[in-house]
């Protein structure tokens, strides 16, 4: 059970204790799995890359034809209120807009909007990640939807081989992990897929700063290239950068380029 003691949430314009939050069971987010979300961090009271996350939240709303009744400024004001109420050095904030209540239990209406703030911990950089490749393409992959049916259904399989997450590929080309973007490093060149994935905010920042360290290629990436890479890592809000130490049967070492990029992301967060 989730411990919600002394935690606050935003629901449809109001901030309240988490245990008091309610929405009606007829929301099509529950009945049809239709809705969008985004997630970002606040460090020492500062939301990291907030404008980028709000931009993507708005793009997801447009991509799913959803209606949010609150302005961007109103959401920002309440984000800062949530951060102040929690007084945590590291906080994760999840924004959600549901499909709303529909008489036909199918057609989206004005969405219910929630923001959930909880203490947060990063995946340890030195632990690395073990991935299992999966032939799959997310529906509406440019949208951050609440639909995670494929990776969640694979959790027992991942547990059975001591893997942390999946790596999606389609027609021999990799796209993304379930909650992260992938980068490979080969012969001193940083390479990341150009299509088929959600464009992460951490990915965006890496692309903007990486040429201080190495050349960049944004292009199709084959699964075979992934197996033959010198270094690999995932990027995400929950990870910053995490080295990949194994994909399927292939093992990798965490290398110096990945470490340098991790350091640059830390600097970006401090700006």
Topology of domain 125-270, CATH: D-amino Acid Aminotransferase; Chain A, domain 2 (3.20.10)
Per-residue pLDDT reduced to its tens digit, 155-164: 999 999 999 9
Radius of gyration of the chain (CA): 19
Give the pLDDT of the chain (271 residues) as one tens digit per residue. Answer: 566 667 999 999 999 999 999 999 999 999 999 999 999 999 999 999 999 999 999 999 999 999 999 999 999 999 999 999 999 999 999 999 999 999 999 999 999 999 999 999 998 999 999 999 999 999 999 999 999 999 999 999 999 999 999 999 999 999 999 999 999 999 999 999 999 999 999 999 999 999 889 999 999 999 999 999 999 999 999 999 999 999 999 999 999 999 999 999 999 999 8
For the chain, domain boundaries: 8-119, 125-270
Angle at 187 between CA 185 and CA 193, to 5 degrees: 35
Count Cβ atoms within 10 A of the Cβ of residue 268 and give its class: 0-12 exposed, 13-18 middle, 19 or more buried. Answer: middle
Beta strand 216-218 pairing with 189-192: parallel
User: How far, in Å, CA of 25 to CA of 98, rounded?
Assistant: 12
Beta strand 189-192 pairing with 231-236: unpaired
pLDDT score of 65: 97
pLDDT score of 2: 61
> Which contacts of 148-152 are long-range, i.e. CB under 8 A and separated by 24 or more positions?
148/178, 149/33, 150/178, 151/178, 151/179
92: which DSSP letter? E
User: How far, in Å, CA of 126 to CA of 96, rounded?
Assistant: 31
Which stretch of DSSP H or E encloses residue 41? strand 35-43
- Tokens coding 243: 């080295």
Question: In sequence order, what are the beta bridge partners of 173?
Answer: 170, 222
pLDDT score of 271: 87
Provide the whole-model pTM. Answer: 0.95
User: How far, in Å, CA of 97 to CA of 146, rounded?
Assistant: 9
pLDDT score of 6: 77
pLDDT score of 212: 86
At the second CATH level, the architecture of 8-119 is 2-Layer Sandwich (3.30)
């Amino acid at each position: 059970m989730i411990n919600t003691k002394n935690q606050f949430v935003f629901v449809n314009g109001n901030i309240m204790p988490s245990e008091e939050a309610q929405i009606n069971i007829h929301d099509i987010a529950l009945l049809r799995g239709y809705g969008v979300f985004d997630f970002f961090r606040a460090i020492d009271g500062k939301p990291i890359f907030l404008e980028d996350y709000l931009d993507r939240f708005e793009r997801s709303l447009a991509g799913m034809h959803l209606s949010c009744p609150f302005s961007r400024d109103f959401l920002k004001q309440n984000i800062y209120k949530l951060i102040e109420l929690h007084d945590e050095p590291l906080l994760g904030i999840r924004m959600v807009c549901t499909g709303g209540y529909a008489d036909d239990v199918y057609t989206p209406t004005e969405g219910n909007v929630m923001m959930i703030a909880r203490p947060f911990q990063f995946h340890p950089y030195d632990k690395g990640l073990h991935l299992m490749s999966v032939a799959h393409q997310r529906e509406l992959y440019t949208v951050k939807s609440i639909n995670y049916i494929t990776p969640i259904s694979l959790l027992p399989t991942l547990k059975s081989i001591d893997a942390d997450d999946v790596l999606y590929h389609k027609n021999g080309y990799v796209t993304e992990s379930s909650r992260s973007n992938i980068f490979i490093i080969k012969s001193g060149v940083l390479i990341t897929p150009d299509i088929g994935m959600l464009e992460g905010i951490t990915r965006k920042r890496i692309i903007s700063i990486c040429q201080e360290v190495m050349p960049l290629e944004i292009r199709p990436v084959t699964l075979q290239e992934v197996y033959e890479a010198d270094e690999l890592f995932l990027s995400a809000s929950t990870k910053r950068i995490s080295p990949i130490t194994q994909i399927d049967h292939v093992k990798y070492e965490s290398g110096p380029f990945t470490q340098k990029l991790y350091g640059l992301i830390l600097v970006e967060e401090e700006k």
